[in-house]
Structure formats: C-alpha cells, structure tokens
C-alpha cells in the first residue's frame, strides 16, 4: 500500500523532472533504480525481504560515496509492487520505464521474473534477477537480463550429485525417494529435473506429489508418505507449506533417513530453525547461501537481525544483485541503459559475499553461481558441502 503510494509520488516527481530538463551537460546527481518485488499478496514475505536486501545495498553504496565514476551520484530507489502476479509485475516495469530508471532489480519469483524481464527487454532496460531460479528466464536470448545466482537446473544437479556422495559414503542406506513440490514454475521445474537426474544414480523415485499454494493441510500427503515409506523425502516449496509439511511429518511420526530439500523454502531459514527447532533438526538443504568464511556476510547478518528481521536467502541474494548492478554502473561510467548492459556483460565483479568467485556472464547467467549444501545442526544452519566452505561434518542418514 505505502509502497504503491510512494511509487506514485516518486513517478510524479520523476515525470515533472523530465518535463523541465536541466540545461547543460552537468553530471546527474542521482541514478534511478527500479526496485521491483511482490511486496503484497501470497509472496509478500519474500518480496519484502528482497526489498530490504536491495535497500540495504543502496544504502551501503550511497554511504560509501555513491557512484564515483559519475561524480558520486547517489542511487535513488523507485519502489514497485508486483502484487505476487506476473501481470502486475510487467505493469510496474512500464511505469518504471516511463519514470526513466536506468535499471531494474527484482522480482523474486520465477513466474514474475519471466514477465518483468520480458517487459523490460522492450526498452533495452537492464534487469538483474535477484532470485528467479527458473532457467527459462535466461534462456530466451533477452539481452537485458542478467542473473547473478544459480538456476534450478544447476541446483538440482548439485543436489543429486551430493546426495549420491553422502549416500555412498554412508554405505548406500538410501534407495527410494519421494518428491513433494509446489505447483508453480519453480516447484514443478525443480521436481521434473530431480525426477530425471535421480534414476541415473540408481535411485527409485517412488512418488512425486504436487500441492497448491496455499495448502491448508498436509496430512494426506504425509499419509501417502507413510504408505510409500521412502528413504529420502525431497521437498521443493515455499516457506509456509514447507513448515506445515515438516510439522505434519513430525506429528504423524514419519521419519525418513533424510529430509533432503532442494531450494526448500524453510530448510535453510533461520526463522524456521528458531520457530521449530525440533522439526528442523538435521534437515539438509541445497539452496542459495552466503560464503560463511567471508566476514562481511556475518556483519550483514547482524545488521539485518538488528532490524528485527531474519537473514533469509532473499535478503542476501537481493543485496548482492544490487551490489552487482552498482558495480556495473560504476564501470559503465554512465546511466545509459546500453552502457550498463555492456558493463554487466563484461562484469568481473568479485568483491561480494556469495561463494561464486569472479563474475562472468554467459547469455545473462553468472557461470560461477552455485548453491551450497547446508544442514540444521543444534539450532543453527551450517554448510556441509562443498568442502571449501564446510563448517561441520554432514550427518547422514539421520536414522540408521
């Protein structure tokens, strides 16, 4: 609500500024940045977390002297609300374009990102995707679209390969798998990838269950689970449903050898671990995660927590996406859209808190992007794989 009103106000201000262009070639004082997320509707929690991450990055960039190659120009955010639907997201892109933004960062959900990147492409408007794991986002040949983080194909491959490593090291106790996923692009796409990869490693995918958002009751799914009795349960869904699913499993006393999530909405969430320490214990997740060896990530975590928020993946993904854009504008030495796109294409951004190394975009995808494997251990989330970032030894299987 407020965001929309603010956005309207800012748009009006921008429109009046455009009507009276400044005379002369003075350096612009600000760089307008479209910050677009689903801050209302079903995805509001994640959207608000993302917005927080972007705003903190803008704050940091501005505090450190703004864009130095533009004479210390400050970044000015134009907030937009995608209202948890692709249509609303695309409409906001139109408004932001009218308002003269230099780039857009957003828009969390895969389905929304598909629409917003496409809408922005019409205006050659650079769009950095902060989360949006569906690979279609970067596979349509859109020149304006860049994704810093990994896609779900990469995540599914890493997850399956690592599951096999863990299982082999433990003497192969696990053989059967049940996948539970949400019904939109993200969950369905991830589940399909997993179902394709797993048999190649000798796993038997016994059952794939799809559910709606929201799902009010997971008893039936857990009853099916009881019948199937899988060694490994793989959930791929958003926070609320994930939490309800794991709680129901606990109630119905279903204890598989591992709960092994791929991009699991709650499995690597501090909020979940705090609220349901018992249910969360031992869960493994293959998800976006920060480099735990980088001190700055822990500082950022403290700052976020000081605001009374959880340091969820949305926050640090959106934060780094904005830092990437800030770096690109710095290199572009211009607010011109084509120049920023060019700078992103050539980006070697490496001063960040993610375990991605030096940035290198190929067709809009950052090639070094990778998920990390985490496990909930004693009320905290620790990295178990890969070894370079390992904080604790993995526990697998959970029960013999």
Partner 1 sequence: MFDLSILFASVLNGITTGAVYALIALGLTLIYGVLHIINFAHGASLMVALYGVYFLKEQLGIDPYLALPIMVPAMFALGYALQRGVINRASHGKDENILLVTLGLSIILENLALLFFKSDTRNIETAYTLTTVSIGPAMIALPKLVSFVGALVVSAVLLAVMRYTDLGRAIRAVAKEKHGARLMGIDVDHVYAMCFGIGLACLGAAACFLLPAYYVNPLVGSGFVLVAFTIVVLGGMGSFVGALVGGLLIGVVESIGGLYLGESLGQVGIFAIFIAVLLFRPQGLFGARA
The residue ranges that bind partner 1 (CB under 8 A) are 1-2, 39-42, 44-45, 47-48, 183, 209-212, 214-221, 223-224, 226-227, 239-240, 243-244, 247-248, 250-253, 275-276, 278-279
E strand or H helix at 318, and its extent?
A: helix 313-332
Minimum distance, C-beta of residue 397 to partner 1, in the bound complex (Å): 22
Encoded tokens for 331:
């290199």
209 versus 339: smaller Cβ distance to partner 1: 209
3-state helix, strand and coil shares in percent for the chain, rounded to the nearest 5: 45, 20, 35
Minimum distance, C-beta of residue 135 to partner 1, in the bound complex (Å): 23
Q: How far apart are CA 3 and CA 51, in angstroms?
A: 11
10 versus 83: smaller Cβ distance to partner 1: 83
Q: How far apart are CA 124 and CA 90, in angstroms?
A: 14
318 versus 343: smaller Cβ distance to partner 1: 318
Minimum distance, C-beta of residue 110 to partner 1, in the bound complex (Å): 18
Strand order in the sheet with 30-37: 74-81, 30-37, 103-106, 127-129, 145-147, 365-366, 361-362
153 versus 271: smaller Cβ distance to partner 1: 271
Q: DSSP code of 131? A: S
Encoded tokens for 119:
């809408």
Q: How far apart are CA 134 and CA 9, in angstroms?
A: 33
Q: Which residues pair with 361 in a beta bridge?
A: 366
How many CA atoms lie within 13 Å of 302's alpha carbon, on the beta-carbon side? 5
27 versus 220: smaller Cβ distance to partner 1: 220
264 within 8 A of 287, measured Cβ to Cβ: yes
45 versus 123: smaller Cβ distance to partner 1: 45
Minimum distance, C-beta of residue 221 to partner 1, in the bound complex (Å): 6
Minimum distance, C-beta of residue 185 to partner 1, in the bound complex (Å): 14
Interacting residues of 119 by C-beta distance below 8 A, sequence separation 6+: 89, 90, 93, 94
181 versus 352: smaller Cβ distance to partner 1: 181
**Is the bond leading into 107 cis (omega within 30 degrees of zero)?**
yes
308 within 8 A of 93, measured Cβ to Cβ: no
Minimum distance, C-beta of residue 361 to partner 1, in the bound complex (Å): 32
Minimum distance, C-beta of residue 274 to partner 1, in the bound complex (Å): 10
Of 337, 320, 314, 340, residue with least CA distance to 60: 320
144 versus 184: smaller Cβ distance to partner 1: 184
Minimum distance, C-beta of residue 303 to partner 1, in the bound complex (Å): 18
CA 222 to chain centre: 28
């Amino acid at each position: 609500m407020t965001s929309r009103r603010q956005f309207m106000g800012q748009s009006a201000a921008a429109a009046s500024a455009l009507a009276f262009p400044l005379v002369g070639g003075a350096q612009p004082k600000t760089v307008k940045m479209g910050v677009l997320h689903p801050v209302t509707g079903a995805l509001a929690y994640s959207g608000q977390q993302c917005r927080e991450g972007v705003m903190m990055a803008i704050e940091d960039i501005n505090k450190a002297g703004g864009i130095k190659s533009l004479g210390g120009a400050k970044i000015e955010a134009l907030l937009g609300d995608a209202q948890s639907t692709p249509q609303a997201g695309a409409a906001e892109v139109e408004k932001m374009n009218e308002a003269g933004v230099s780039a857009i960062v957003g828009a969390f959900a895969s389905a929304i990102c598909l629409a917003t990147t496409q809408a922005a492409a019409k205006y050659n408007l650079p769009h950095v995707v902060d989360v949006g794991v569906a690979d279609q986002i970067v596979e349509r040949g859109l020149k304006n679209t860049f994704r810093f983080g990994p896609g779900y194909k990469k995540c599914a491959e890493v997850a399956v390969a690592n599951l096999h490593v863990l299982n082999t090291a433990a003497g192969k106790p696990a053989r059967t798998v049940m996948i539970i996923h949400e019904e939109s692009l993200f969950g369905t796409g991830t589940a399909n990838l997993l179902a394709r990869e797993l048999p190649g490693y000798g796993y038997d995918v016994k059952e794939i269950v799809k559910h709606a958002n929201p799902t009010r009751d997971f008893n039936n799914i857990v009853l099916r689970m009881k019948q199937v009795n899988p060694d490994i349960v793989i959930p791929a869904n958003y926070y609320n449903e994930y939490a309800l699913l794991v709680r129901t499993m606990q109630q119905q006393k279903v204890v598989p050898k591992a709960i092994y999530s791929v991009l699991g909405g709650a499995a690597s969430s501090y909020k979940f671990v705090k609220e349901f320490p018992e249910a969360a214990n031992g869960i493994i997740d293959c998800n976006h995660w920060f480099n735990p060896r980088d001190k700055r990530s822990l500082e950022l975590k403290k700052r976020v927590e000081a605001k009374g928020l959880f340091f969820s993946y949305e926050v640090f993904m959106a934060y780094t996406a904005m830092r990437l854009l800030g770096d690109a504008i710095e290199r572009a030495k211009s607010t011109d859209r084509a120049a920023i796109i060019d700078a992103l294409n050539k980006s070697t951004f490496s001063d960040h808190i993610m375990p991605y190394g030096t940035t290198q975009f190929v067709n809009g995808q950052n090639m070094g992007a990778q998920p990390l494997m985490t496990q909930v251990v004693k009320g905290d989330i620790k990295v178990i794989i890969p070894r370079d970032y390992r904080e604790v030894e993995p526990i697998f299987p959970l029960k013999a």
